[in-house]
């Protein structure tokens, strides 16, 4: 019997600007980790990922893209006969990569379209991840797991956490200063902790890509994430998984499912 794999999540699952793009509005790649893993498993895939998603837009809030397209809450489309459901979300609840983008483009060119696009989200500049933000991500992940469990008959539910973007040795180059880098490290730690606690609380399986990618962050010899993309057409794909990173996530997911 053919497996059915369902993927829920934001851009770290969708794979914006990794060709081929199968849904430009969703920033969804034909070579994101869900598709690569499903191909290795010989499975049918229901890919519901949308770049920019939060735990709320997976659960119960429609998501409207910058062009006005509306995506229904992702969980509503999970089929009852799903065998595996993967979840990668929560970073946007903490403004994780958005903070990196804001810092980098503010330094590079405050007049850049991406700077102007992000500025309203950061009226007071970069902010520490608050306890409330972390709780929103953690409880959101738990609720997604619970919702998927209620909607499916027998699915294995797998939380797949975020590839490491910034490491302790990341210089940031012209993108961010040391204080900003240290803030992003604290955000990373907060997000990783939210995943661990959500897995413990919900009983979901956990693929800890954050640990496996420690030596593959920015400035490493073999990064699994992109640096800064200055073209306005693709700049929001900065500090996200690259094609190699998606391959490595797919490999580990398949290994843990075996």
Question: What pLDDT is stored for residue 234 in this prediction?
Answer: 94
| Helix ranges restricted to H, 1-95 | 11-14, 33-41, 55-59
Q: How many residues does the chain have?
A: 258
What sign has the CA pseudo-torsion 34, 23, 50, 182? positive
Q: Which of 7, 10, 11, 238 is catalytic?
A: 11
Question: What pLDDT is stored for residue 171 in this prediction?
Answer: 73
Question: What pLDDT is stored for residue 172 in this prediction?
Answer: 66
Shortest CA distance to 6 belongs to which of 40, 51, 43?
Answer: 43
Question: What pLDDT is stored for residue 13 in this prediction?
Answer: 99
Q: Which residues pair with 44 in a beta bridge?
A: 4
Question: What pLDDT is stored for residue 159 in this prediction?
Answer: 99
Question: What pLDDT is stored for residue 10 in this prediction?
Answer: 99
DSSP per residue, 203-236:
--EEE-HHHHTGGGSTTSSS-SB-----STTTGG
pTM above threshold 0.85: yes
Tens of pLDDT, residue by residue over 123-171, are 999 999 999 999 999 999 999 999 999 999 999 999 999 999 999 877 7
**Taking a C-beta distance cutoff of 8 angstroms, is the pair 90, 137 a contact?**
yes
CATH fold of 4-93+134-165+196-257 reads: Rossmann fold (3.40.50)
Q: Which residues of the chain have pLDDT under 70?
A: 172
Question: What pLDDT is stored for residue 254 in this prediction?
Answer: 99
202 burial type by CB count under 10 A (0-12 exposed, 13-18 middle, 19+ buried): buried
Question: What pLDDT is stored for residue 87 in this prediction?
Answer: 99
Question: What pLDDT is stored for residue 66 in this prediction?
Answer: 85
User: Rounded to whole angstroms, how far apart are CA atoms 232 and 111?
Assistant: 11
240 has catalytic annotation: yes
């Amino acid at each position: 019997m053919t497996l059915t794999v369902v993927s829920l999540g934001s851009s770290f699952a969708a794979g914006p600007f990794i060709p081929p793009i199968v849904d430009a509005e969703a920033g969804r790649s034909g070579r994101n980790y869900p598709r690569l893993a499903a191909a290795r498993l010989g499975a049918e895939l229901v890919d519901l990922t949308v770049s920019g998603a939060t735990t709320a837009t997976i659960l119960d809030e429609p998501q409207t893209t910058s062009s006005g397209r509306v995506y229904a809450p992702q969980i509503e489309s999970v089929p009852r006969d799903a065998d595996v459901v993967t979840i990668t979300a929560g970073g946007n609840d903490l403004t994780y990569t958005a903070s990196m983008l804001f810092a980098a483009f503010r330094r590079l060119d405050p007049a850049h379209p991406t700077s102007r696009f992000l500025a309203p989200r950061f009226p007071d500049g970069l902010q520490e991840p608050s306890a409330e933000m972390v709780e929103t991500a953690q409880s959101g992940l738990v609720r997604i797991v619970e919702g998927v469990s209620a909607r499916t008959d027998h699915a294995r539910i797998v939380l797949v956490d975020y590839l490491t973007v910034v490491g302790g040795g990341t210089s940031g180059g012209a993108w961010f200063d040391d204080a900003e880098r240290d803030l992003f490290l604290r955000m990373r730690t907060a997000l990783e902790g939210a995943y661990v606690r959500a897995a413990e609380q919900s009983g979901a399986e956990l693929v800890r890509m954050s640990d496996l990618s420690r030596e593959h962050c920015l400035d490493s010899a073999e990064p699994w994430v992109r640096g800064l993309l200055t073209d306005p057409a693709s700049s929001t794909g900065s500090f996200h998984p690259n094609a190699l990173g998606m391959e490595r996530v797919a490999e580990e997911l398949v290994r843990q499912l075996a």
